């Protein structure tokens, strides 16, 4: 069996040692005689798995004690609704930064609950740049400010944290969480679907400052109230147990790699290598302003789009898969999350040079 370098934006690659451990433990977790999938979520065995995962995530990210870590379902998309439902707390106005496709979806959902002020939009730049903080038109009494630190489709990433003072800062970190250290204390809420940089699809993690929990908009369903999950250790109902377990294995793997500081070094190297290959050629182009290029998702186009099909086919034959760009952007996209080895980026860069030489 050969494993490919899978450049999918999500669900994405998982670290091989994690998959191997999951395989070894598949039929019998730690002498229990059963798979983690078959365990009661309230039993001692699974409780120990759940607690270890939370503990390790807290260590990795340096999550302060006054933050709850919630293991949820519904994806980042459900958080688009849960954020306003939980954070409005009697207010009506909310601030959103629009830097691309995922911001747009978060904004559309928030409009169902609140008066949304778009403080800034990257539209003028074709969403290829982040509007300067000085230009943001913020609301004085905003219940919170929401932004998307990494736009997975456009490949645009904040390399700084907005300073919103007393206004709680909310971040959809789906495609950048765990890629580098982050000062959690700057945030009111951080949330992420797991399938990019945490584990398998089906698990969503929300890190919520405790004082923001407890006052939801009227008629909020029980399952959409952060308090429900905060008070029950994310076990109000059956949580996504297997995803939780795999996420825990990923956290252990990250700790073994040296933590997020070490991952940031690796991720920076991978991104720089790929952008250098793109910028150094007349054949490949990345449209994003270099100051806000994503470390995780690198879109690029070929000078001749008629060659896209051939590029993808040849790449796949070499075990470089899922490079097709999002339908809204076209061209290619290489997603290079934590689990993409440096060797995968090297192989891609070598193939790109070779393809250009033959066809460019």
Ligand X SMILES: *Cc1c(COP(=O)(O)O)cnc(C)c1O
Q: Binding to ligand X by residue 193, rule CB under 6 A?
A: yes
- DSSP states along 118-171: EEEE-GGGTT-SPPPGGG----TT-S-EEE-SEETTTTEE-SS----TTSPEEE
Catalytically annotated residue among 29, 172, 252, 295: 172
Inter-residue contact 320 to 350 (CB < 8 Å): no
Contact code string over 112-151 relative to ligand X, x by CB under 6 A:
------------------------------------x---
Sign of CA dihedral 195, 203, 25, 258: positive
- Smallest distance from ligand X to CB 142, Å: 21
- Smallest distance from ligand X to CB 149, Å: 8
Q: Note the residue count of the chain.
A: 360
Catalytically annotated residue among 56, 95, 102, 225: 102
Nearer to ligand X, 36 or 192 (CB): 192
> Candidates 71-79, 81-89, 231-239, 324-332 — which segment interacts with ligand X by CB under 6 A?
71-79
H helix intervals, 237-360: 241-256, 259-279, 308-317, 342-359
Would residue 172 show up in a list of annotated catalytic residues for this protein?
A: yes
Binding residues with ligand X: total (CB under 6 A)? 12
CA 274 to chain centre: 20
- Smallest distance from ligand X to CB 290, Å: 21
What residues form DSSP beta bridges with 297?
335
* Side-chain half-sphere exposure of 94, counting CA atoms within 13 A: 32
Q: What is the radius of gyration, based on Cα positions, of the chain?
A: 21
Nearer to ligand X, 10 or 330 (CB): 10
Would residue 253 show up in a list of annotated catalytic residues for this protein?
A: no
CA 184 to chain centre: 15
Nearer to ligand X, 84 or 283 (CB): 84
Catalytically annotated residue among 196, 252, 270, 324: 196
> Candidates 22-30, 56-64, 168-176, 318-326 — which segment interacts with ligand X by CB under 6 A?
168-176
Would residue 102 show up in a list of annotated catalytic residues for this protein?
A: yes
> Candidates 69-77, 160-168, 252-260, 274-282 — which segment interacts with ligand X by CB under 6 A?
69-77
* Phi, psi angle pair for 254, to nearest 5°: -65, -40
Interface residue with ligand X, options 175, 234, 322, 335 (CB under 6 A): 175
Inter-residue contact 199 to 246 (CB < 8 Å): yes
Element (H, E) at 50: helix 44-61
Contact code string over 72-111 relative to ligand X, x by CB under 6 A:
---xxx------------------------x---------
Inter-residue contact 184 to 330 (CB < 8 Å): no
Nearer to ligand X, 196 or 209 (CB): 196
- Smallest distance from ligand X to CB 76, Å: 3
Inter-residue contact 334 to 274 (CB < 8 Å): yes
**Cα gap 188→208, rounded to integer Å:** 6
* Collapsed DSSP state (helix, strand, coil) of residue 74: coil
> Candidates 171-179, 254-262, 285-293, 349-357 — which segment interacts with ligand X by CB under 6 A?
171-179
**Cα gap 29→38, rounded to integer Å:** 10
Nearer to ligand X, 242 or 284 (CB): 242
> Candidates 28-36, 61-69, 169-177, 326-334 — which segment interacts with ligand X by CB under 6 A?
169-177
Nearer to ligand X, 54 or 157 (CB): 157
- Where do contacts with ligand X occur on this chain (CB under 6 A)? 10, 75-77, 102, 148, 152, 172, 174-175, 193, 196
Residues designated as active site: 102, 172, 196
């Amino acid at each position: 069996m050969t494993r490919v370098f899978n450049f999918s934006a999500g669900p994405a690659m998982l670290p091989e040692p994690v998959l191997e451990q999951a395989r070894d433990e598949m039929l019998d977790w730690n002498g229990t005689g059963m798979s983690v999938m078959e365990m009661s979520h309230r039993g001692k065995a699974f409780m120990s798995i759940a607690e270890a995962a939370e503990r390790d995530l807290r260590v990795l990210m340096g999550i302060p004690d006054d933050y709850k870590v919630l293991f949820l379902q519904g994806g980042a998309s459900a958080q688009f609704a849960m954020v306003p439902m939980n954070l409005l707390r009697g207010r009506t106005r909310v601030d959103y930064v629009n830097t691309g496709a995922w911001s747009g979806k978060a904004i559309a959902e928030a409009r169902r609950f609140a008066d949304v002020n778009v403080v800034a939009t990257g539209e003028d730049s074709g969403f290829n740049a982040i509007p300067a903080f000085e230009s943001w038109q913020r609301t004085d009494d905003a219940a919170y400010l929401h932004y998307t630190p990494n736009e997975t489709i456009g490949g645009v990433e904040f390399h700084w944290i907005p300073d919103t003072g007393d206004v709680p800062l909310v971040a959809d970190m789906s495609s950048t969480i765990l890629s580098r250290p982050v000062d959690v204390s700057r945030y009111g809420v951080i949330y992420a679907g797991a399938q990019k940089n945490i584990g398998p699809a089906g698990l969503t993690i929300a890190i919520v400052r405790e004082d923001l929990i407890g006052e939801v908009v009227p008629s909020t369903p029980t399952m959409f109230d952060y308090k429900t999950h905060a008070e029950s250790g994310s076990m109000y109902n059956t949580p996504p147990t297997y995803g939780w377990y795999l996420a825990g294995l990923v956290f252990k793997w990250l700790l073994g790699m040296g933590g997020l500081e070490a991952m940031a070094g690796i991720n920076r190297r991978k991104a720089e290598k790929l952008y250098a290959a793109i910028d150094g050629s007349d054949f490949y182009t990345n449209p994003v302003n270099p100051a806000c290029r994503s470390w995780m998702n690198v879109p690029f186009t070929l000078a001749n789009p008629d060659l896209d099909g051939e590029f993808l086919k040849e790449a796949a034959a070499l075990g470089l898969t899922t490079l097709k760009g999002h339908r809204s952007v076209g061209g290619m996209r290489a997603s290079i999350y934590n689990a993409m080895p440096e060797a995968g980026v090297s192989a891609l860069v070598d193939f790109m040079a070779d393809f250009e030489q033959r066809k460019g």
